[in-house]
Amino acid sequence: MNCSKCGNTIQDDATFCTSCGETVQAANPAHSIPTPHIPQAPVSITNENQLPDKFKPMGAWSYFGHSLLFSIPVVGTILLIIFALGGTRNINKRNFARSYFCGYLLIAIIAIILIILAAAGAISFASLTEAGIY
C-alpha cells in the first residue's frame, strides 16, 4: 500500500506513514482505529546554503550597501523602484527596497506639506505687508 500524502510504500496493516506521519486508512475500515493527527514539527534548516536563493538572508553589509545604492539621486531611485516592484528574486531585498520606498514616500509627503505651508505663509505675509501691518 502507498501513502496518500507522500507516496511512500507502507505496510498494509500500518496506521500511519513512517515517512511523513500521515494517518493511513486501513484496507479494512472496520478493524481500523482512528488515530489523532499529530502535527509535524517544522523542518529546521541549520545551514543558510540549504535555502533557496529567494529566501537567503541579507547580511548587515548588504543592507548598508543597498542603502548607499538607493541613496544615489537618479540611478538609485530607478533601482529602488525596480527592486521594490520585484526586479530581484530575493524576497529580503525586495522587502527592504519596499520599506526604503515607503520612507521616500513619507519624506515626499512631508516635503509637499511643508511647501504648501510655506506658500500659504508667504501669501499671508504678502497680504499683511500690503495692508501696512508689517
Write the pLDDT tens digit of every residue in 10-55.
Answer: 777 777 787 787 777 755 455 556 667 777 767 666 676 777 888 8
Do 63 and 121 reside in the same domain of the chain?
yes
In a domain, 45, yes or no: no
- Average pLDDT, whole number, for the chain? 83
- Same domain for 62 and 6? no
Residues 66-94, mean pLDDT to the nearest whole number: 92
Give the confidence band of 122 by pLDDT, cuts at 50, 70, 90: confident
Residue 76 amino acid letter? G
Kindly state whether residues 27 and 59 are assigned to the same domain: no
Answer whether 0.85 is exceeded by the pTM.
no
- Is the confidence at residue 74, as pLDDT, over 70? yes
pLDDT at position 102 is: 94
Say yes or no to pLDDT of 128 above 90: no
What range does the domain containing 56 cover? 52-130
Q: Residue 82's pLDDT band (boundaries 50, 70, 90)?
A: very high
Whole-angstrom distance, CA of residue 132 vs CA of residue 134: 6
Pair 22, 56 in one domain: no
Per-residue model confidence (pLDDT) at position 19: 76
- Grouping H, G, I as helix, E, B as strand and the rest as coil, residue 44 is coil
Q: For residue 111, is pLDDT > 80?
A: yes
Please give the Cα distance from 80 to 92 (Å, whole number).
13
Question: 101 falls in which pLDDT band (50, 70, 90)?
Answer: very high
The tally of domains found in the chain comes to 2
**β-sheet bridge partners, residue 2:** 9
**Cα 87 from Cα 80, distance rounded (Å):** 9
pLDDT in tens, 58-68: 899 999 999 99
DSSP-derived secondary structure letter, 49: G
